[in-house]
């Protein structure tokens, strides 16, 4: 019998807003934790339903069809059961859409990867050819599923569900993902019973206490090869790659293990200048990319070897620098650079530093994502940079380094006054932050602070990590 939506003014799915997650995406173990995939054609409400499950907007939602293109995974817990929810692109056949075949292939892979499926359709529109095509794929997969009729916003509209019996997918369940009808919770109750028996038991505490992964965000301008690099690292086409600028629209998190080390790779949308971005999907995409920089441990700025460094590359670098993140430069498409010599990488590096001198502490790797050349060097560098970001120096060492630096190069006199650094200590990591107690912070010239940073880097391994100095006043009597 068809399950009808129950509508109340105070829907329990509003406070359902998700309960605290018991695990992170990086701790997902396919052997013990199930995957629930939400599939359907474009604009039926897949991402809206996902956001309703999770309690806040994780994926971009817009009335424009085809906003979601890649698979995205999100950890959640329902009734004590942890699992991943997978959002997918919309299945459709449209000759004019260059992404159609790529999205459909991603959805087919999602069906095979999932343990249970939510097949969502639009109650207002009725059955379409794309619905019928998807129903066929689901039946052929043999995976357990539930047919869900979305956009049934009023009890009087429940009759909209009857047409969907013609899909031969069993009793449809009517919901309103937008309004959060109580049957959204009922749907989750049903779905967790469909998981394979060996994945129904909660994972052990040991599984949830795994090593913290390095969160690596691949950032850069559109079309520099961020998605290609991610696919090359993980070894298969996990995200859609196209020559069309703006192919990736949302930040896509991919848990990954390399040489027994866990990583969380984040593919981001290309970041253009905000003044050139239209309001709507692209603006939200850029905001998500910036948010990914703020959340990551290491930002990998991907640049195009065949093009001169752009002002936007510099802006993205500065965003990561301001956020205090570890940094790596990946020069992609190195295979396309003509007439290379053994000195080409050194010359490129020299020219890059001439354009952006503040990049001097950032490691650079020359790669070809297309040919999978040196792509895993990015992960190896990330390990080094991450360790450097956590490096802590003893107070005696810090004072010795600063004291020696001052002895070698005394601060300049400003208006008959000279800077005196009375004491120094490291107060935090990620990024390494040092407090300098001085007689007057106004006497610290920017050039002298850069000099102190160089001395600190020469004394300890801080490659790829920004260093921060905080100046505090301290009288000489308190010394």
**Is 3.40.390.10 the CATH number for 211-389?**
no
Q: Averaged over 60-71, what is the pLDDT? A: 44
What span, in angstroms and rounded, lies between the C-alpha atoms of 292 and 253?
10
Highest mean pLDDT (candidates 25-34, 39-48, 209-218): 39-48
Q: What is the mean pLDDT of the chain?
A: 80
What span, in angstroms and rounded, lies between the C-alpha atoms of 164 and 166?
5
User: Which stretches does DSSP call E strand in 238-324?
Assistant: 252-258, 261-267, 298-304
Q: Omega before 444 cis (within 30°)?
A: no
What span, in angstroms and rounded, lies between the C-alpha atoms of 406 and 476?
16
pLDDT in tens, 396-436: 999 999 999 999 999 988 888 999 999 999 999 999 999 99
The ranges assigned to domains in the chain are: 25-206, 211-389, 395-478
Does the pLDDT of residue 465 top 80, yes or no?
yes
User: Which has more pLDDT, 102 or 302?
Assistant: 302
Q: Averaged over 339-345, what is the pLDDT? A: 92
Q: Which pLDDT value is given to residue 172? A: 92
What span, in angstroms and rounded, lies between the C-alpha atoms of 455 and 452?
5
Q: Which pLDDT value is given to residue 336? A: 95
**Strand-pair partners of 39:** 119
Q: Averaged over 238-247, what is the pLDDT? A: 43
Does the pLDDT of residue 111 top 60, yes or no?
yes
The dotted CATH code for 25-206 is 3.40.50.300
Are 277 and 246 in contact by the 8 Å Cβ rule? The answer is: no
**Strand-pair partners of 116:** 36
> Which fold does the domain 395-478 belong to in CATH?
GMP Synthetase; Chain A, domain 3 (3.30.300)
Same fold? 25-206, 211-389: yes
pTM for the predicted model, two decimal places = 0.67
């Amino acid at each position: 019998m068809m399950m009808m939506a129950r509508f109340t003014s105070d829907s329990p799915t509003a406070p359902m807003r998700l309960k605290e997650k018991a695990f992170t995406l990086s701790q997902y173990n396919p052997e013990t934790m199930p995957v629930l995939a939400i599939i359907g054609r474009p604009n039926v409400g897949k991402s809206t339903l996902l956001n309703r499950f999770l309690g806040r907007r994780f994926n971009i939602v817009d009335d424009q069809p085809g906003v979601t293109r890649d698979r995205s995974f999100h950890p959640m817990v329902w009734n004590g059961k942890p699992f991943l929810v997978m959002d997918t692109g919309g299945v459709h056949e449209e000759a004019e859409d260059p992404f159609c075949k790529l999205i459909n292939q991603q959805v087919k892979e999602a069906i095979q990867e999932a343990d249970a499926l939510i097949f969502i359709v639009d109650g207002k529109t009725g059955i379409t050819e794309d619905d019928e095509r998807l129903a066929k794929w689901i039946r052929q997969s043999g995976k357990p599923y539930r047919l869900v009729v979305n956009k049934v916003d009023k009890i009087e509209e429940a009759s909209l569900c009857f047409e969907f019996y013609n899909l031969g997918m069993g009793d449809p369940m009517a919901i309103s993902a937008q309004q959060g009808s109580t049957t959204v919770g009922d749907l989750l109750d049903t779905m967790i019973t469909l998981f394979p028996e060996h994945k129904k038991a909660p994972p052990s505490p040991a599984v949830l206490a795994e090593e913290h992964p390095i969160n690596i965000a691949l950032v850069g301008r559109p079309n520099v090869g961020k998605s290609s690099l991610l696919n090359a690292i993980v070894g298969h086409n996990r995200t859609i790659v196209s020559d069309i600028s703006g192919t990736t629209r949302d930040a896509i998190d991919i848990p990954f293990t390399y040489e027994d080390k866990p990583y969380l790779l984040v593919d981001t949308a290309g970041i253009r200048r905000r003044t050139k971005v239209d309001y709507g999907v692209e603006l939200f995409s850029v905001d998500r990319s910036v948010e990914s920089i703020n959340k990551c441990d290491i930002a990998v700025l991907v640049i195009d070897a065949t093009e001169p460094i752009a002002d936007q590359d510099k802006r993205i670098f500065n965003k990561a620098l301001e956020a205090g993140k570890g940094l790596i430069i990946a020069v992609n498409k190195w295979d396309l650079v003509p007439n290379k010599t053994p000195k080409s990488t050194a010359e490129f590096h020299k020219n890059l530093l001439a354009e952006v001198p503040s990049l001097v502490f950032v490691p650079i790797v020359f790669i070809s994502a297309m040919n999978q050349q040196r792509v895993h060097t990015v992960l190896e560098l990330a390990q080094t940079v991450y360790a450097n970001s956590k490096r802590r120096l003893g107070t005696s060492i810090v004072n010795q380094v600063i004291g020696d630096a001052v002895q070698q190069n005394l601060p300049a006199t400003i208006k008959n006054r000279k800077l005196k650094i009375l004491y120094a200590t490291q107060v935090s990591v990620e990024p390494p932050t040092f407090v300098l107690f001085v007689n007057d912070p106004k006497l610290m010239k920017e050039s002298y602070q850069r000099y102190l940073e160089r001395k600190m880097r020469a004394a300890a391994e801080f490659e790829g990590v920004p260093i921060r100095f905080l100046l505090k006043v301290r009288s000489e009597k308190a010394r």
